[in-house]
Amino acid sequence: MARLIVDTPGGTYPVHIGRGVLKELRRTMARLEPTGAVVVADASVRAIAQAAAKHLKAARVKNAIYVVPGGERSKSLAGLAGLLAFLERQRIDRGGCIVAVGGGTVGDLAGMAASTWLRGIRYIEVPTTLLAMVDSSIGGKTGVNGVRMKNAIGTFWQPSAVISDLACLDTLPRNRYREAFAEVVKYAVAMDRGLFDVLHRESARLTAGDQDALEDVIERCATAKALVVARDERDRGPRAILNYGHTAAHALEAASRFRISHGRAVALGMRIAANIAFALGLCSERLVDAQDELLTTYGLRDEHPRVSLDRMMAAIPTDKKARRGRVAWVLPRRIGHAVIGQDVPVRLVRRVVRGAIA
């Protein structure tokens, strides 16, 4: 069992990681003493929501469960309106809290509701996907999608605790598990050489879902994320490191009309970024190959998606992190270290992207 602390101007909170840590909800309730709670849950993890509700009840916190259909569609203004109406019906006051049980979709939606209901109530993240455990549950970025733009509407609002119980992953589909490793490799290549070595050494155990190995990896990723968020809660500078692989990934997702999954897009996005870095003389070819090999080991093979080069190039500047049409690339220098804010000639981007998707 591991426990780390996220310390930001917007709030300081613990992250509990381990098999069986859901029971930490009781102690969390004793600390927060909420006047009431709503458990917001993804439909595929109803059983976990019920277990969470039991812990709340044991801590004498009156609560109700609100189930949202799984998947990105509930992360909308309509979805937010539905949840806010439920909070109102349940008479959640300023002392109340939300417990978000689900992946990044539910976490973002519930966090957004928490940040706006009565100008802000507390919330707790109980991530049930590997992606949410290593990434979205930490850092307080909340939000819903716009009509066409992902995460267009949002707030910064830190949770009061994150409870990552590995048992929640027991029902997670294999492909979701595998694809989350794209984000794990992101931390390794951009920030944590030690993690890169662990991923290399423990690939058999990790792909098989070994709990000890997994706990170690989640803790390392959470630590990396906490570090960045502590330095730059509001994403004005250093937090951009987390965007490694995401500049091209977002373009790829848009160009494929979201037929390519986020994990696969990030894997290809990191391959593109590493090749750009190599072409600019920023990193060695060895890095490009080592990253490639690691991604392949985790089932993120180098597949060339059938998307139009022009459409993908057109999608790059619309990435919301682009300012005045210029894209700030995050590029690796060596394993465990990347640099942010890199300007790359469009012709070079085009050449590398063509090689990656053709």
Ligand X SMILES: NC(=O)c1ccc[n+]([C@@H]2O[C@H](COP(=O)([O-])OP(=O)(O)OC[C@H]3O[C@@H](n4cnc5c(N)ncnc54)[C@H](O)[C@@H]3O)[C@@H](O)[C@H]2O)c1
Residues that bind ligand X (CB under 6 A): 42, 44-45, 70-72, 75, 102-106, 108, 128-129, 131-132, 135-136, 139, 141, 150-151, 168-169, 171-172, 176
Q: Which is nearer to ligand X, 41 or 92 (by Cβ)?
A: 41
CB of residue 152 vs ligand X: minimum separation in angstroms? 11
Q: Which is nearer to ligand X, 177 or 278 (by Cβ)?
A: 177
3-state class of 147 per DSSP? Answer: coil
Measured between alpha carbons, how far is residue 102 from residues 145, 245, 280, 292 in Å?
17, 25, 41, 30
3-state class of 267 per DSSP? Answer: helix
Q: Which is nearer to ligand X, 135 or 219 (by Cβ)?
A: 135
- Rounded to whole angstroms, how far apart are CA atoms 2 and 157? 24
Q: Which is nearer to ligand X, 72 or 210 (by Cβ)?
A: 72
Measured between alpha carbons, how far is residue 35 from residues 12, 31, 32, 57, 100 in Å?
21, 12, 9, 12, 17
CB of residue 140 vs ligand X: minimum separation in angstroms? 8
CB of residue 187 vs ligand X: minimum separation in angstroms? 12
- Rounded to whole angstroms, how far apart are CA atoms 128 and 137? 10
3-state class of 94 per DSSP? Answer: coil
CB of residue 241 vs ligand X: minimum separation in angstroms? 13
CB of residue 114 vs ligand X: minimum separation in angstroms? 13
Q: Quickly tell me which residue has 């970024």 as its tokens.
A: 273
Q: Which is nearer to ligand X, 132 or 189 (by Cβ)?
A: 132
CB of residue 105 vs ligand X: minimum separation in angstroms? 3
Write the DSSP string, 319-333.
STT-BTTB--EEEEE
Q: Which is nearer to ligand X, 54 or 150 (by Cβ)?
A: 150
Q: Which residue is nearest to ligand X (CB)?
A: 104
